[in-house]
Amino acid sequence: ENFLQNTSAHFFSNSHDAFASLSTLNLSSFTKLMKKLEELHPEASRDKIVDALLEVKKNNKGILSGLSISSIVERTSVVL
């Protein structure tokens, strides 16, 4: 899926800033991904989930394009 591409490495103070800085974002995929991660990790704040998601992106050469939602969930869960 075309998801979360072309984001430069920035520090985000909250998930809204991260969301606003993620270009070419597929909103329905992001919403689905966040919902799944929030269900799997109820102890994690939304900001912590976004930080983990950005870490996965960083570890994948700065892109998430080409990874399935399930792969992104799995990798983000490892970070969390």
Structure pTM? Answer: 0.68
pLDDT 10s digits, 9-62: 333 444 444 444 444 456 778 888 899 999 999 999 999 999 999 999 999 998
Can you give the pLDDT at residue 78? 97
Can you give the pLDDT at residue 50? 92
Can you give the pLDDT at residue 31? 86
What is d(CA 12, CA 40) in angstroms, rounded to the nearest whole number? 23
Q: What are phi and psi of 20, to 5 degrees?
A: -65, -25
Can you give the pLDDT at residue 77? 97
